[in-house]
Chain A
Amino acid sequence: MSLEIRSAPHIKAHRSVETIMRHVVYSLLPICAFYVFQYGLSALASLAVVTAACLATERFFVKTGTQAGDISDYSAVITGLLLALSLPPGFPLWMGAVAGFAAIALGKALFGGIGCNVFNPALVGRAFAQAAFPQAIATYTPSFLPGRFYEMVPTSMTLPFMQPASVIDWLKAKQLDALAGATPLAKWKFEGVLAGAEELITSLSGHMAVGPSPALILLCGAYLALRRFLDWRIPAAILGSAGLTAWLLFALSPERFPNPFFMLFSGGLILGAVYMATDMATSPVTPKGMWVYGALIGLLTVIIRYYSGLPEGVMYAILLANAATPLIEKITQPTPFGKSRFALLGRARKGASYPLHPGYISREEAHAVTPKKRLFAHKPKAEARKKSNEARD
C-alpha cells in the first residue's frame, strides 16, 4: 500500500477567481445604480468610461503577455467600478480614462497581473488622479439636481488634455441651499459645518455631495461576507478602530473634533472598508493579521482626516496598510497544529512559519525544499573544506 503525504489544504472549494469577482460585481451593481440615481447622466458616463479604460488597458497588457490573468475574470471591472465610485461624478471623462489606465498599468500590470499586485489598483488610480489633477478631483457637484437625467455636469465633457470649465455659474443658475457642492468632510474641515446623521447614512435628503449611500454599501458588503466572498474581520476592524479613535478624540475635546458617528459615515470610509481594503491580493491572509491591518487603516484614516491638509484620508490609509501587509503577515503567523501555544516565545518557534515558508506551500513540487537556516549562507562545511585542502595539497 502506498501512502501519499500532502500538506494542507486537503479539501478545496469549487470556487474560482472568476466566481468570486463576478459576485463582487453583482454586489456593486445596486450601489452603482443608486449612484446614477443620485447624480444622473454624468455618473453613468463616468462609470462607463472608467470601466472601459480599465478593461482596455487590461486587455492590452494581457495580450502582450506582460500580465497574467484574463479580462474574463471580472477583476478589471471591479477596479473600474470602484475607481469611478471614488471619483467625483462630474470628473472630466478624459481624466477618468487616464485614472483607469494608471490603475491597471501602474497598479496591476507593472507587478505582473492579478494576484501579484502590492497595492489596490483602484486606489492607485485614484492616488494618481489626486496627484495629477488635484483641483478637478476636489470639485464635487451636488446630488439630486433637477434635470440630472437630461444634462451632464459641464465638466464631464471636457476635451482631452484641456482644463475643465468652472461649474460655479452653472450651479448658481440652479439656486441650491447652503450645503450644496462640497463633500461633508470638506464642509466640516474647511467651514466647520457638520452634516446630519440621516443624510449621511441614506444619502437621500438634501443636495449635499455625498458619495454612494453607506447603508446600501453595508448591505451589499453583508451579502458578500455571508457568502464568504470577503472576510468580515477587515471591515469590522477598520470601522471599530476608526470609531474608537474618533470617540477617544471626541471625548478629549468635543468642541474641536466631530462626533465619531460623523467620522464613520462620511467620506469614503465605508466604501473603502468594505470593498477596497478587502482586496484579497493586498490584505493579510492570517486572521490575526486582518485585525491588525484593519486597525491600522482605521487609525491612519482618522489621523489623516484630523491632522493633515486633506479632508479625506481613507485612500492613503489603505495604501499604507497595503504596503505593510507582508510585514503584518510575518508577525501574525498562526501556530501550526501540534505546536505549543507558547512556541512563539523561545527557540521552539523554528518551523512555525505557516504562510510564508516555501516548505509549507506544496510538498508535491519536488523543488520546493525547505531552506536550512545557517549563519553564513555559502560557507562550505568543515569536512568539505578539509577535503578540498587535501586535494590541493
Chain B
Amino acid sequence: MTATRTDRWDEFMEGLWRQNPIFVMTLGLCPALAVTVSAVNALSMGLATTFVLTASCFLVSLLRKRIPKEVRIATYIVIIATFVTVVDYLIQAVSLALYDALGAFIQLIVVNCVILGRAEAHASKHPPLPAVLSALGMGAGFTLGLFALGAVREILGAGKLFGISLFGEHFQPWVVMVLPPGGFFVLGLWLLLFSAWTRRQRRKEAIQHA
C-alpha cells in the first residue's frame, strides 16, 4: 500500500507540532537554553541541527539493513559526527561572528538527543522518504522552539529583534533574560502556554464528540 499525501503531511506535522522536540518531548534542551540569547543565534542553531538531523536520518535509513544491531549506536554517532563536521566548517566559512557566538554548541550537536533519538526510533525502521520527511518535521519543530525562546529573550533582554531596535533608546532591558536563568524562565512559560493551549484543544474535541 502506498502512502497517501496526507500520511506524508502527517509525518511532517508530527515533529513540527504534536511531538515538538522542545515543547512536548523537551529534548535537546542544552542548546535550547544556551544559545537562544538572540533570535539569529537560535534560528541558525535550529537550521544547523535540522541539516544534521535530515542528512543523518537519510543515511541511517539507507543503511538500515546493513548496520549490525550490536554496533548501531556507534555507527549512528559516526554518521552524525560526519555531518556535524560539515556544518561546523560551513558556519565557520559563512560567518565567523556567528561561529564565535554559537561556540562549542555547534560541535555539541553530535550529542543532541533529538538526532540520535530520531535515528534510533524512526530512521532505522523506515525507508528514506518517510525518514527524511519526519526528520524535516522534527528539525522544523526544533527550529520553531528555539526561535520562540530566542525571540522572546532578545525582545525582552535587549529590546531588539534580529538586531532591529523595537522600543527606542529608553528601553529598560530585563537583565535576567540574557542570563542562563532567563532561558529556563522563558522555556517554562512556553511550556505552560503550550500545555494550556493543548488542554483547551482537547476539551473542545471532547465537547464536539459528546
The residues of A that contact B171 with a CB separation of less than 8 Å are 161-163
Q: Are A131 and B179 within 8 A (Cβ)?
A: yes
Interface size range of chain A in the complex:
20 to 34
Selected contact of A131 from candidates B172, B181, B199, CB within 8 Å: B181
Q: Are B176 and A110 within 8 A (Cβ)?
A: no
Q: Are B172 and A106 within 8 A (Cβ)?
A: no
The answer to the question of A234 belonging to the interface, with a C-beta cut-off of 8 Å to chain B, is no
- The B-contacting residues of A in range 120-151, CB under 8 angstroms, are 128, 131-134, 136
Q: Are A164 and B172 within 8 A (Cβ)?
A: yes
The answer to the question of B195 belonging to the interface, with a C-beta cut-off of 8 Å to chain A, is yes
* Distance A134 CA – B188 CA, assembled complex (angstroms): 22
The answer to the question of A65 belonging to the interface, with a C-beta cut-off of 8 Å to chain B, is yes
The answer to the question of A105 belonging to the interface, with a C-beta cut-off of 8 Å to chain B, is yes
Tell whether A66 pairs with B167 under 8 Å between CB atoms, given A132-B175, A164-B172.
Answer: no
Q: Are B192 and A61 within 8 A (Cβ)?
A: yes
The answer to the question of A102 belonging to the interface, with a C-beta cut-off of 8 Å to chain B, is yes
* Distance A161 CA – B181 CA, assembled complex (angstroms): 20
The residues of A that contact B189 with a CB separation of less than 8 Å are 105-106, 110
Shortest beta-carbon distance from A56 to chain B in Å? 14
The answer to the question of B105 belonging to the interface, with a C-beta cut-off of 8 Å to chain A, is no
Q: Are A110 and B175 within 8 A (Cβ)?
A: no
One digit per residue, 1 when the CB lies within 8 angstroms of any chain A CB and 0 when it does not, for chain B 150-176 equals 000000000100000001001110111
Q: Are B185 and A133 within 8 A (Cβ)?
A: no
Q: Are A109 and B172 within 8 A (Cβ)?
A: no
* Distance A271 CA – B73 CA, assembled complex (angstroms): 56
The residues of B that contact A133 with a CB separation of less than 8 Å are 172, 174-175
Selected contact of A132 from candidates B176, B197, B203, CB within 8 Å: B176
Q: Are A163 and B170 within 8 A (Cβ)?
A: yes
Tell whether A66 pairs with B199 under 8 Å between CB atoms, given A102-B185, A110-B192, A162-B167.
Answer: yes
Shortest beta-carbon distance from A382 to chain B in Å? 31
Selected contact of A61 from candidates B172, B175, B196, B203, CB within 8 Å: B196
Q: Are A65 and B203 within 8 A (Cβ)?
A: yes
The residues of A that contact B181 with a CB separation of less than 8 Å are 131
The answer to the question of B62 belonging to the interface, with a C-beta cut-off of 8 Å to chain A, is no
The residues of B that contact A161 with a CB separation of less than 8 Å are 159, 167, 171-172
The answer to the question of B200 belonging to the interface, with a C-beta cut-off of 8 Å to chain A, is yes
- The A-contacting residues of B in range 97-128, CB under 8 angstroms, are none
The answer to the question of A64 belonging to the interface, with a C-beta cut-off of 8 Å to chain B, is yes
Shortest beta-carbon distance from B115 to chain A in Å? 28
Tell whether A131 pairs with B192 under 8 Å between CB atoms, given A65-B203, A162-B171.
Answer: no
The residues of A that contact B176 with a CB separation of less than 8 Å are 128, 131-132
B191, B196, B199: residue with the most chain A Cβ atoms closer than 10 Å? B196
A64, A65, A110, A132: residue with the most chain B Cβ atoms closer than 10 Å? A132
The answer to the question of B177 belonging to the interface, with a C-beta cut-off of 8 Å to chain A, is yes
Shortest beta-carbon distance from A309 to chain B in Å? 15
Q: Are B192 and A109 within 8 A (Cβ)?
A: yes
Shortest beta-carbon distance from B176 to chain A in Å? 4
Q: Are B175 and A105 within 8 A (Cβ)?
A: no
Q: Are B175 and A64 within 8 A (Cβ)?
A: no
The residues of A that contact B196 with a CB separation of less than 8 Å are 61, 64-66
The residues of B that contact A110 with a CB separation of less than 8 Å are 188-189, 191-192
The residues of A that contact B170 with a CB separation of less than 8 Å are 162-163
Shortest beta-carbon distance from B116 to chain A in Å? 25
The residues of B that contact A131 with a CB separation of less than 8 Å are 175-176, 179, 181-182
Q: Are B175 and A134 within 8 A (Cβ)?
A: yes
The residues of A that contact B197 with a CB separation of less than 8 Å are 64
Q: Are A106 and B195 within 8 A (Cβ)?
A: no
* Distance A211 CA – B131 CA, assembled complex (angstroms): 62
The residues of B that contact A95 with a CB separation of less than 8 Å are 172
Q: Are B192 and A163 within 8 A (Cβ)?
A: no
- The B-contacting residues of A in range 154-171, CB under 8 angstroms, are 158, 161-164
Selected contact of B185 from candidates A128, A162, A164, CB within 8 Å: A128
One digit per residue, 1 when the CB lies within 8 angstroms of any chain B CB and 0 when it does not, for chain A 317-337 equals 000000000000000000000
* Distance A94 CA – B176 CA, assembled complex (angstroms): 16
* Distance A109 CA – B189 CA, assembled complex (angstroms): 10
Q: Are B175 and A162 within 8 A (Cβ)?
A: no
* Distance A344 CA – B100 CA, assembled complex (angstroms): 57
The residues of B that contact A158 with a CB separation of less than 8 Å are 172
Shortest beta-carbon distance from A125 to chain B in Å? 12
Tell whether A64 pairs with B172 under 8 Å between CB atoms, given A106-B188, A128-B185, A131-B179.
Answer: no
The 4 closest A-B pairs by CB, nearest first: A131-B176, A64-B196, A132-B174, A66-B196
User: Given contacts A110-B189, A134-B175, could you give 12 more A-B pairs where the C-beta distance is less than 8 Å?
Assistant: A61-B196, A64-B200, A66-B192, A66-B196, A110-B188, A110-B191, A110-B192, A131-B175, A131-B176, A132-B175, A133-B172, A161-B159
- Listed by A's residue number, 21 A-B pairs whose Cβ atoms lie within 8 Å are A61-B192, A64-B197, A64-B199, A65-B203, A66-B192, A66-B199, A95-B172, A102-B185, A105-B192, A110-B188, A110-B192, A128-B176, A128-B185, A132-B176, A133-B174, A134-B175, A161-B167, A162-B172, A163-B171, A163-B172, A164-B172
Query: CB within 8 Å of B: which residues of A?
Result: 61, 64-66, 95, 102, 105-106, 109-110, 128, 131-134, 136, 158, 161-164
